[in-house]
A = this chain, B = another copy of it.
Amino acid sequence: MERGLLIVISGASGTGKGTVCKKILADLPKISYSISATTRKPRQGEVDGREYYFLSVDEFKQWIADEKFLEYAEVYGNFYGTPLNKIEEQLNRGEDVLLEIDVQGALNVKKKCPDGVYIFLLPPSLEELRRRIEGRGSETPESLNRRLKNAVAEIQIGREYDYAVVNDTIENAAAQIKSILAAERCKVARNTDKFNF
């Protein structure tokens, strides 16, 4: 059984990684989505066990103690974590798993799973990034500026990834990501059995 691909997609906040990941999952239904755990409150329409596992802070700390996380991080006062055991099960069954996580989380995952595919989404411009963060409508001027400054710092961390994809349109970004996945499946290291003649 060939091990599945661990696909990690990150981007600074406001880059649109959620929308791009939804498109990838819709177009490539064989890819499984890794559900994260968080202590932040559910937004309208979010369901426990679908968008996130919504945990209390105490529950989250128990999962940490039980070593259930591949990585976890605190972002704007909330905890986010990636359940390790579920992902390993999926990969070993040969399933490809998509992980949409924050920049800090992804670098921790990269240390533990260097054979994953690390894709960083970039905004087409600073102006467009500002528009997208503003468009969420839930920002005060202070939090907008803090998020924008933070986003620019996060983008620099993207240099540690394998691939950079500019999210100018969802279609373009998704097409590039599909090419990356097709190419990764052709890597010699993932196809050693095909050399046995």
* A103 on interface, CB distance cutoff 8 Å: no
Q: Given A120-B188, A158-B188, A188-B120, do A166 and B180 touch, yes or no (CB 8 Å)?
A: no
Interface residues on A, range: 20 to 34
Per-residue CB contact flags for chain A residues 148-165 toward chain B (1 = under 8 Å, else 0) read 000010011011111111
A192 near B159: Cβ-Cβ < 8 Å: yes
B194 near A152: Cβ-Cβ < 8 Å: no
A160 to B189, CA, bound (A): 9
* A195 on interface, CB distance cutoff 8 Å: yes
A195 near B163: Cβ-Cβ < 8 Å: no
A179 to B178, CA, bound (A): 8
Interface centre among A158, A163, A166 (most CB of B within 10 A): A163
B197 near A152: Cβ-Cβ < 8 Å: yes
Q: Quick one: closest B residue to A118, CB to CB?
A: B188
Provide the main secondary structure of the chain A interface.
helix
* A187 on interface, CB distance cutoff 8 Å: yes
Within the complex, which residue of B159, B179, B195 is in contact with A158, where a contact is CB–CB below 8 Å? B195
* A90 on interface, CB distance cutoff 8 Å: no
A182 near B188: Cβ-Cβ < 8 Å: no
* A191 on interface, CB distance cutoff 8 Å: yes
B176 near A188: Cβ-Cβ < 8 Å: no
Sample 17 A-B pairs with CB under 8 A, ordered by A number. A156-B195, A160-B188, A163-B186, A163-B187, A163-B188, A164-B187, A164-B188, A164-B191, A164-B194, A164-B195, A176-B182, A176-B186, A178-B179, A179-B180, A180-B182, A183-B183, A183-B184
